[in-house]
Amino acid sequence: MTQELSHLLRTRREKLEALRERGIEPYAYRFDRTARSDEVVSAYSEAERKGDLNESGEGSEVRVVGRIMSWRSHGKSAFAHIEDEGGRIQLYFRLDVLGQEAFDDLNLLDLGDWIGVEGRVFRTRTEEITVRAGSWTLLSKSLRPLPIPKEEVDPDTGERTVYSGFADPRTRYRQRYADLAVHPEVRKIVRTRTRLVSALRRFLDARGFLEVETPVLQPIYGGAAARPFTTYHNALDTTLYLRIADELYLKRLIVGGFERVYEIGKDFRNEGIDRSHNPEFTMLEFYQAFADYHDMMELVEELVGSVVEETTGSRRFVHQERDIDVSPPFRKVAFLEALGKKLGTSPAEMDVEGLRQALRERTGEDLDDAGRGRLLDKLFGALVEPELIQPTFVVDYPVELSPLAKHKRGDSSLTERFELFIGGWELANAFSELNDPLDQRARFEAQAQLRDAGDEEAHPIDEDYLRAMEYGMPPTGGVGIGVDRLVTLVTDSPSIRDVILFPTLRPEEGREG
């Protein structure tokens, strides 16, 4: 702890003691609020319009609460702004109204303190709706200075200029409570996220999907190609994995007779962190019996379009200065065709060596041990994906890349699978689910060979899942949607970490001040 911070903390503790000595409890138990700050403003405007103000131009008496965000002291009077979830409201304190003692005690308040105030509402000379404090109550003393920015609001344009700020991303992510406390725009993202998730639920509920919960702790992970987090159960004396996908359990439920199921929950993948990846992230998966991937494409178009509109009011939004329109129908391109256009040759006619060479030429990467599937995927990721800004379904992936998807009708080298890209990011992944248990076993065995060859992300064999398939799963369409990424896009956030309240960070070493 530096001397300076310790000085600031000490000053506040001294004020805390002084408050107690004066008989003021710095940590109150409750406060009866009559109106939120935004309600105070609208009620006063309404009263003003109706002519319901008294002869002094005052509205009704209110009790408001908030955190002190600014303070302007003028000797025998003072102005402050407090902020609650409704926004900010100005307070006006006067010596002749409060009396000497209550006015002097204001000196023991600091920015960041929570207070409650009772008083009549009026409009100041500069037209701001303000509560004239008849009395005030300390609700919670802040002992650590919040990095509250100073800001100026242009009265004509309403434009907000922030003069100093709390900018260090590390500290903002680590101390999200402080980030939220001083940045209304971060709170807005949180609300947008919640509205979007609610809209997803409403969309699926309205179409007869049943929301379920499946295990996070799994004896065998699967449903995606990724490395898992590993943990251990003491009583069972066994290794368990945090799920990397919900897929295999949800399809077991389709076997069990549920025709439409979905789950919104956390998946965990033991991989790097960047602007589109967090080790734990929120996935929506839904499965519909008797449907194929064409049906699911239509459903996804509707879902994305309507959820974005319900959340933001429009199907168009801007992400990082790019205009994006999620109005259906979305563009469709075939995987091999799109890649072929970039390569100048059909990848179907290229052998592994040719693909490897193409990758080397285009990206400078040498992948000596990579198989055909991985090479195709790498090339696609490097050449095609970054250009998929407007919503685009990429369809018909090579079978090597898709161990859980049905063969494409008429071409067994492909699968009936699509991924949805928006803004260059993979937003959704879906297929006509493989329901042939013998084919599924063969796919798993092919994955096992990749695993033996050193591919840590190859899909493990899940015998229980195969048993479920053997009982019989109806034809089913399934979709996974990355919820965090969708929120990142519609909130115009640069990074997935901006839409996750507490993103994964390296643990803090030691304790700071």
Partner RNA sequence: GCGCCGCUAGCUCAACUGGCAGAGCAACUGACUCUUAAUCAGUAGGUUCCAGGUUCGAUUCCUGGGCGGCGCACCA
3-class DSSP state for residue 487? helix
Using CB under 7 A, which residues numbered 379 to 408 contact RNA? 381-382, 401-404
Using CB under 7 A, which residues numbered 443 to 462 contact RNA? 457, 459
Out of 52, 61, 152, 213, the residue judged to bind RNA by CB under 7 A = 152
Out of 34, 327, 357, 363, the residue judged to bind RNA by CB under 7 A = 363
Residue length, the chain?
513
Please name which of 255, 314, 311, 261 lies closest in space to residue 284, comparing C-alpha atoms. Answer: 261
Tokens, residue 237: 């004396």
For the CB of residue 392, give the shortest distance to RNA in the complex, in Å: 16
Residue 214 vs 276, nearer CB to RNA: 276
Residue at token pair 């037209």: 127
How many residues touch RNA (CB under 7 A)?
A: 84
Tokens, residue 214: 């499946």
> Is the preceding peptide bond at 329 cis, omega within 30 degrees of 0?
yes
For the CB of residue 248, give the shortest distance to RNA in the complex, in Å: 11
Rounded Cα distance between 15 and 210, Å, is 55
- Is 140 a residue that touches RNA (CB under 7 A)? no
Residue 167 vs 453, nearer CB to RNA: 167
User: Taking a C-beta distance cutoff of 8 angstroms, is the pair 328, 302 a contact?
Assistant: yes
Q: Which span (25-33, 41-49, 224-232, 254-262) binds RNA, by CB under 7 A?
A: 224-232
Using CB under 7 A, which residues numbered 48 to 87 contact RNA? 70-77, 79, 81
Residue 352 vs 505, nearer CB to RNA: 505
For the CB of residue 93, give the shortest distance to RNA in the complex, in Å: 9
Binding track over 225-254 against RNA, x by CB under 7 A: xx----------------------------
Out of 36, 141, 374, 485, the residue judged to bind RNA by CB under 7 A = 374
For the CB of residue 235, give the shortest distance to RNA in the complex, in Å: 32
- Is 5 a residue that touches RNA (CB under 7 A)? yes
Residues 6+ apart with CB under 8 A from 167: none
Using CB under 7 A, which residues numbered 467 to 496 contact RNA? 494-495
Buried b (16+ CB within 10 A) or exposed e, 64-91: bbbbbbbbeeeeeebbbbbbbebebbbb
Q: Which span (93-101, 310-318, 338-346, 434-442) binds RNA, by CB under 7 A?
A: 93-101
Rounded Cα distance between 258 and 290, Å, is 11
Residues 6+ apart with CB under 8 A from 459: 222, 225, 403, 404, 443, 444, 447
- Is 361 a residue that touches RNA (CB under 7 A)? no
Residue 49 vs 74, nearer CB to RNA: 74
* Phi, psi (degrees; rounded to nearest 5) at 196: -65, -45
Using CB under 7 A, which residues numbered 266 to 325 contact RNA? 269, 271-272, 274-277
Out of 34, 45, 60, 171, the residue judged to bind RNA by CB under 7 A = 171
User: Taking a C-beta distance cutoff of 8 angstroms, is the pair 456, 426 a contact?
Assistant: no
3-class DSSP state for residue 412? strand
| Bridge partners, 78 (sequence order) | 73, 93
Q: Helix, strand, coil: what percent of the chain each, to 5?
A: 35, 25, 35
- Is 170 a residue that touches RNA (CB under 7 A)? yes
Residue 305 vs 484, nearer CB to RNA: 484
For the CB of residue 32, give the shortest distance to RNA in the complex, in Å: 26
For the CB of residue 126, give the shortest distance to RNA in the complex, in Å: 3
- Is 22 a residue that touches RNA (CB under 7 A)? no
User: Taking a C-beta distance cutoff of 8 angstroms, is the pair 432, 254 a contact?
Assistant: no
Out of 21, 125, 237, 313, the residue judged to bind RNA by CB under 7 A = 125
For the CB of residue 103, give the shortest distance to RNA in the complex, in Å: 9
